[in-house]
């Protein structure tokens, strides 16, 4: 069964499998963007994301990381550091205070 969402996304429901939601923003959050063409499905980013933001698409030769829960992304950039293929890039980096009270300012790559 194939359904279309008002937001321009598609829901693909396959028998005995969970629903896969393909929307326009399944590859980016406020802080990161995934280039699915560069992703080699090593899943390092999934393992390093402690908030469950990044998930897997592993369907009949179509394999890459994607965004499952964009609202949970806090911009820690662990996924960017874990991806040695450069498939995940930082869009926005927030200022965080170090333990000694100084600010850690970084620019997006």
Q: What is the pLDDT of residues 33-87, one digit of tens each?
A: 999 999 999 999 999 999 999 999 988 888 999 999 999 999 999 999 999 999 9
Say if residue 4's pLDDT is above 90. Answer: no
Residue 45 lies inside a defined structural domain of this protein: yes
Residue 59, token pair as written in the block: 């369907």
Angle at 35 between CA 33 and CA 38, to 5 degrees: 145
For position 81, which CATH number holds? 3.30.70.20
- Number of domains into which the chain is organized: 1
Residue 43 lies inside a defined structural domain of this protein: yes
Residue 5 lies inside a defined structural domain of this protein: no
- Nearest-CA neighbor of 73 among 20, 43, 34? 34
C-beta of residue 71 within 8 angstroms of C-beta of residue 23:
no
């Amino acid at each position: 069964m194939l359904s279309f969402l008002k937001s321009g996304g598609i829901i693909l429901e396959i028998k005995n499998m969970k629903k896969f939601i393909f929307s326009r923003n399944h590859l980016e959050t406020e802080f990161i963007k995934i280039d699915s063409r560069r992703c080699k499905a090593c899943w390092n980013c999934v393992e390093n994301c402690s908030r469950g933001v990044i998930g897997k698409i592993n369907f009949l030769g179509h394999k890459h990381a994607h965004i499952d829960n964009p609202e949970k992304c806090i911009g820690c950039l662990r996924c960017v550091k874990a991806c040695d293929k450069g498939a995940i890039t930082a869009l926005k980096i927030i200022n965080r205070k170090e333990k000694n009270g100084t600010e850690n300012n970084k620019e997006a790559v």
